[in-house]
Structure 1
Amino acid sequence: MSFTIFPAIDLKSGQVVRLAEGDMARATIYSDDPAAQAAVFARGGAAWLHVVDLDGAFAGRSVNGDVVARIVAAFTGKVQLGGGIRDMAAVESWFARGVTRAVIGTAALKDPDFVKAAAKAYPGRIVVAVDAKGGMVATEGWAEASDMPVVDLARRFEDAGVAAVLFTDVGRDGLLKGVNLEATHALAQAQTLPVIASGGVAGEADIHALKAIAADGIAGVICGRAIYDGRLDLGRALAIAA
């Protein structure tokens, strides 16, 4: 299985930010020009870009749509987008605007039939976001915790045709504490979908550790704050992954 590095652009009010533990009140602004940041990642050799419309995740609909369109135009590789994608019209709209994959979180828990229909219509282009707080699924931009175990949600879509499961440990996201390797590995082994790791990447050690278990179903990792803070060099991360 190939192992992909996904540099991340999180959007809030049209700016590139990183949140601490998913808290909108704890946002660090890194750039006022998301499209320029996307171009930097493209020149750095990234084949994929992970974009999150944070405002959209809370609003339940696209908020930074025009900004996303500029990012897609500026990035020469493929873009996967999450945040507020809750119905088929949203999926179709983003695909028409050049997004390669749609990342669906809240709706995966609350409207699984929609996710399965989207995966059937667009096989290999839907990613299910499984965001965990204490091993349980968090929804609504991580503002709400459910009583469903993470593994149960992932298993719900094993035969649906989704591309991957994006697993985020909310308690580590944006804190540079290191990825939750144990929980990520456990999820990969407990079901059949490829797992993309997210949350807490602090440096090269995390990339090495995840790459070492890639054969067990770890398809890649999302890297945000570590890159922006200079703790992780994108070129080095890509070299390790390759």
Structure 2
Amino acid sequence: MILYPAIDLKDGQAVRLLRGEMDKATVFNTDPAAQARAFQDAGCQWLHLVDLNGAFAGQPVNGAAVEAILAATSVPAQLGGGIRDMATIEGWLTKGIARVILGTVAVENPALVRQAAAAFPGQVAVGIDARKGRVATKGWAEETDVMVTDLAAAFEDAGVAAIIYTDIDRDGAMGGPNVAATADLARATSIPVIASGGVSSLADLVALRDTGVIAGAISGRALYDGALDLAEALNALA
């Protein structure tokens, strides 16, 4: 199971939100590129980047910070937030992002996901963010009637590289991930599932790994707060 350290970008800084609320942001590093280097130095295999402003704006906002991270590191990075058309997808992949994450458009324009996955094999992931099993879009601001399992099933044959599943009520709350719901989703689809939201301890990572069906886990606040030591966690998962 791969551990993805998270760098959430708001106004050019590395922050963490509480349950997706933009007005509940804690700034953890004013230099996201330095933060990315620190994660790389600790031994991570991947980075998980989110343009929070972009998720609300519907277009990239923290592009300069993302490009600085790409320039400062050599490990692959996946990026979500405000990526809603083919030109933006192609632009980020050309700049060196290894995998783009499509969230809002997966609900609103599933044909784009299919088109992108066909054009860029292995480089397109779907972000499924949910409250109580229902998908939320536009930076989690809008809730839909779409069920998580139905959205995942819609892309079963599309060639999507991964699903990043976030339980919004757990995100940034340090209360542990929703292991059961994530494992249920992983068993319901052949697409690799990456868990996000609430990973706050080594025990959480072990619980996700021990399901035997979850491909990865994203952690942010726990790494910044020191509740989770990245090098120790990577060693335990190796």
Please state which band the TM-score falls in when normalised by the shorter chain.
over 0.9
**How far 1:145 sits from its partner (Å)?**
0.4
State the SS of the aligned residue for 1:109: helix
- 1:220 paired residue number: 216
Written as runs of structure 1 = structure 2, the 5 A alignment for 1:145-164 is 145-164=143-162
Mapped to 2, the partners of 1:223 and 1:117 lie a distance apart of: 30
State the SS of the aligned residue for 2:89: helix
What do residues 86-136 of structure 1 show as CA deviations (whole Å, max 9, x unaligned)?
A: 011001000111100000100000000001000000111111001011100
TM-score normalised by length of structure 1: 0.97
State the SS of the aligned residue for 1:145: strand
Mapped to 1, the partners of 2:89 and 2:204 lie a distance apart of: 32
1:51 is aligned, of 29, 49, 52, to: 49
Mapped to 1, the partners of 2:159 and 2:122 lie a distance apart of: 6
State the SS of the aligned residue for 2:207: helix
Q: Unpaired runs of 5+ in structure 2?
A: none
- 1:66 paired residue number: 64
**How far 1:7 sits from its partner (Å)?**
0.1
TM-score normalised by length of structure 2: 0.99
Mapped to 2, the partners of 1:30 and 1:99 lie a distance apart of: 23
Q: Unpaired runs of 5+ in structure 1?
A: none
Instruction: State the superposition RMSD in angstroms.
Output: 0.6
- 1:90 paired residue number: 88
- 1:237 paired residue number: 233
For the 8 Å contact 1:207–1:240, the answer to whether it is kept is no
State the SS of the aligned residue for 1:72: helix
1:185 is aligned, of 183, 193, 211, to: 183
AA paired with 2:190?
Answer: T
Instruction: Tell me whether 1:139 sits opposite 2:144 in the alignment.
Output: no
Mapped to 1, the partners of 2:151 and 2:237 lie a distance apart of: 28
Mapped to 1, the partners of 2:156 and 2:193 lie a distance apart of: 12
AA paired with 1:238?
Answer: L
- 1:18 paired residue number: 16
- 1:109 paired residue number: 107
Mapped to 1, the partners of 2:26 and 2:100 lie a distance apart of: 25
Mapped to 1, the partners of 2:136 and 2:58 lie a distance apart of: 14
- 1:167 paired residue number: 165
Would you say how many aligned residue pairs link Structure 1 and Structure 2?
Answer: 238
Mapped to 2, the partners of 1:4 and 1:75 lie a distance apart of: 18
Could you list the runs of 4 or more consecutive aligned residues of structure 1 that deviate by over 2 angstroms after TM superposition? none
**How far 1:73 sits from its partner (Å)?**
1.0
Mapped to 2, the partners of 1:205 and 1:69 lie a distance apart of: 34
**How far 1:227 sits from its partner (Å)?**
0.4
State the SS of the aligned residue for 1:40: helix
**How far 1:199 sits from its partner (Å)?**
0.1
- Percentage identity across aligned positions? 54
